[in-house]
Amino acid sequence: MPIRANLLLLLVTSPVFALDPGELILIVNKNEPASAELAEYYAKVRNVPAGNIVTLDLPKGESISRSDYDKKLLIPLRMELKDRKEKVRCLVCMYGTPLRVGNEDPSPGEKEELAKLAPQIKEVEEAIKKCREEIAALEKTAKDDTTGKDALLKKEREQELNTLNGKQNRLNRQRSNLSHAESTAAVDSELMMLWFEKYELRRWQLNLNHWQVPAKEREGKPPVLLACRLDGPDPKIVRRMIDDAIETEKAGLKGKVYVDARGIALDLKGDPRGTGYGGYDQSMRDMAALLKDAGKMDVILDDKDPVFQPNTCPDTALYCGWYSHAKFVDSATFAKGAVAWHLASSEAVSLRSGTTFWCPNLLAKGVCATLGPVSEPYTIGFPKPAEFFGFLATGQFTLAESYGKTVYFTSWMGTLIGDPLYNPFKATPRLKESDVFVSPKGVPSPFGKP
């Protein structure tokens, strides 16, 4: 998961958060009976006004096309909420609403350009194949006689191959742009941009609610909403998540913290903003230190590459680790109300049972809240662990607020799953807001120049 971000120079400040039940909108799929049932139950136990349940005619599957998203979700939702725009702060996708919105379709002109591009790409691919075959054929004789004709010819072919690879990369980038690749997004991440009429769908948009973004960057722009989903492998699990959140808040989340880093050193030359592999690995170590030292929590840090093995993490309240891609490892028994997520490329591709992805398996094992991507997010598609868990541990911010303060992008791949109002440390704060720092510790904000 390489990082490819070119971000603005911004100063540090924090938008105001204080999420109230009346500011939630519960989005229901009328074609899934459990969707309405769960919304009504949640509204009752969390005191969400009945009028804040919005029922839409949506597909039943986990994916929705871009055209259906616009026609059946985006436009009807805007129309429903237009007269109470100022009162809406968080959108909640209920069980049965689509998880992922598909790519934007190319325009007719872009389709013509793609048709012209296809034979060029094929020609380069064939030339690369031929060049590699010639290099392989020259390998032995060139090795035996390093100054001979075959060695010189091999060097020429290697230079030609480098040129061809560069041309192929340029053509592939052009094809990607014309085809609107990477305009896929998590539905709830796209919905954060509900009030923005027009924006680039390829790749991401900066989350203006991020705690490092100054108020001046939001001036004159529509509000970016908070968003999450009450969803999971089946309706029974979703109801359990709701009940666990409410019960846990009464006495506070109790249990151990497990952090599964990989021992990757932070290379400030190659990763000056700490947004690559080393930066996120260091943020996990920062998380462990913050919750152990300032938070006085029972923290177990594994700083070696292998992930926690099965049945090695009892009484887990908080978990963050990586990188067992699409291969859930049943390492933990979870305390009621646990918040846990695994950093890897596709852990929320599906939330239904019978998959090997981490998000549905964590929920099935008793976790109350998790997060993950619906497709390749790159590392920077995740919040920094030390920041997300740090704000959550203050008891000042709900689950949705902690995520909204720390996820870098909207209109991107990440989805938050859990009760948006869940505040596991409300009764037992572990940190002060001032304890939370830009992570990795000592690295400048990723929004600034290194």
Cα separation, 378 vs 7, in Å, equals: 15
Q: pLDDT tier at 430 (50, 70, 90 boundaries)?
A: very high
φ/ψ (deg, to 5) at 45? -80, -20
- Sorted by sequence, the CB contacts under 8 Å of residue 28 that are 6+ apart come out as 35, 36, 39, 53, 54, 55, 56, 94, 96, 97
Q: pLDDT tier at 3 (50, 70, 90 boundaries)?
A: very low
249 and 427 in contact (C-beta within 8 Å)? yes
pLDDT in tens, 265-284: 999 888 888 999 999 999 99
Cα separation, 244 vs 246, in Å, equals: 6
State the pLDDT at residue 389. Answer: 98
φ/ψ (deg, to 5) at 272? -65, -20
Cis peptide before 108 (omega within 30 of 0): no
Q: pLDDT tier at 331 (50, 70, 90 boundaries)?
A: very high
Q: pLDDT tier at 176 (50, 70, 90 boundaries)?
A: confident
- Across the range 78-91, mean pLDDT stands at 96
Any idea which of 8-12, 76-80, 105-109, 113-117 has the lowest mean pLDDT? 8-12
Pairing of strands 205-206, 313-321: unpaired
State the pLDDT at residue 1. Answer: 61
Q: pLDDT tier at 448 (50, 70, 90 boundaries)?
A: low
> Would the pLDDT of 357 be above 90?
yes
Note the residue count of the chain.
450
> Would the pLDDT of 439 be above 90?
yes
227 and 93 in contact (C-beta within 8 Å)? yes
> Would the pLDDT of 6 be above 70?
no
The whole-model pTM stands at 0.88
